Amino acid sequence: MGILEVKNVNKRFGGLQALGDVNLSIAENTVHAIIGPNGAGKSTLLNCLVGKLIPDTGSVLFDGISVLGRKPHEINQLGISRVFQTPEIFGDLSVLENVMIPCFAKRDGSFRMHAFESVAAEEEIVAKAEQMLKDVRMYEKRGLHAGSLSRGDKRRLEMAMCLVQGPKLLLLDEPTAGMARADTNNTIDLLKEIKASRDITMAIIEHDMHVVFSLADRITVLAQGTPLVEDTPANIKGNPKVREAYLGE
């Protein structure tokens, strides 16, 4: 059984069937890419995994526990962390403070800004956040305002904010969207390093096939809300059904 088991998930928006009988199993410690044309239902599926949407039918098990009906922060506590398409950071706080916030949230079970008042006493959390910044090569920038960072560094910081919570499953929705090639390649390298340095499973939605083929162990192709095929990158590349549905050939 995979760390994530999606069974017969359906989701309608009015007359539109955004997800139709989605079955997906993601094996522990793998990178699983979900690809498909615009409007295929990729983000909808991700939203069903993190509690932002509730499927009409079906089940989602994470580590054997049902996530359906749980609030996003509860699912986060179970060990699922999500990287957003646009980095969600606190621009007025320092890089280090940004990484400390999720540590407080994790410890206290909720996001409470007042916990931040006792920063000076929280040496353990400072040390943890500093180590995390070293891991993503942002330690030298720990004192900078997060808002002043480059796009690539903001992405790196957001990654640190997710990883410091020690997630078992990291969800990434188009992590390289809008990035120039150099930043994209840096992000690929960063994700490879993260993967190699800890026990973590990644589910990645991505348009850029270079990113997908650089990182994924398995690929699921979603078309019109339903998985068309799931296979290794090598097999997906040569699959005529995929080329037709996805590449429009």
**40 forms part of the interface with ligand ADP (CB under 6 A):** yes
Q: Which is nearer to Mg ion, 43 or 226 (CB)?
A: 43
Q: Which is nearer to Mg ion, 135 or 174 (CB)?
A: 174
**36 forms part of the interface with ligand ADP (CB under 6 A):** yes
Q: Which is nearer to ligand ADP, 13 or 116 (CB)?
A: 13
Say if residues 39 and 27 touch (Cβ distance below 8 Å): no
How would you classify the pairing of strands 169-173 and 201-205?
Answer: parallel
224: partner contacted, choices Mg ion, ligand ADP, none (Cβ within 5-8 A by kind):
none
Distances (CA, A) of 56 to 9, 14, 68, 84, 226: 7, 12, 10, 24, 15
Q: Which stretch binds Mg ion (CB under 5 A): 26-34, 41-49, 208-216, 228-236?
A: 41-49
Q: CA 158 to CA 187: how far, in whole Å?
A: 12
**51 forms part of the interface with ligand ADP (CB under 6 A):** no
Q: What is the smallest separation between the CB atom of 43 and Mg ion, expressed in angstroms?
A: 3
16: partner contacted, choices Mg ion, ligand ADP, none (Cβ within 5-8 A by kind):
ligand ADP
Q: Which stretch binds ligand ADP (CB under 6 A): 37-45, 121-129, 184-192, 227-235?
A: 37-45
Q: CA 33 to CA 114: how far, in whole Å?
A: 38
Q: Which is nearer to ligand ADP, 34 or 115 (CB)?
A: 34
**43 forms part of the interface with Mg ion (CB under 5 A):** yes
* The two three-digit tokens of residue 24, written as one number: 């997906």
Q: CA 241 to CA 219: how far, in whole Å?
A: 14
* The two three-digit tokens of residue 93, written as one number: 């706080």
Q: CA 87 to CA 161: how far, in whole Å?
A: 10
**186 forms part of the interface with ligand ADP (CB under 6 A):** no
The closest alpha carbon to 89, from 162, 195, 141, 143, belongs to 162
Q: What is the smallest separation between the CB atom of 210 and ligand ADP, expressed in angstroms?
A: 19
Q: CA 156 to CA 135: how far, in whole Å?
A: 10
Q: Which is nearer to ligand ADP, 36 or 51 (CB)?
A: 36
**185 forms part of the interface with Mg ion (CB under 5 A):** no
**171 forms part of the interface with ligand ADP (CB under 6 A):** no
Q: Which is nearer to ligand ADP, 20 or 166 (CB)?
A: 20
Give me the residues that bind ligand ADP (CB under 6 A), please: 13, 16, 18, 36, 38-44
- Binding residues (CB under 5 A) for Mg ion: these are 42-43
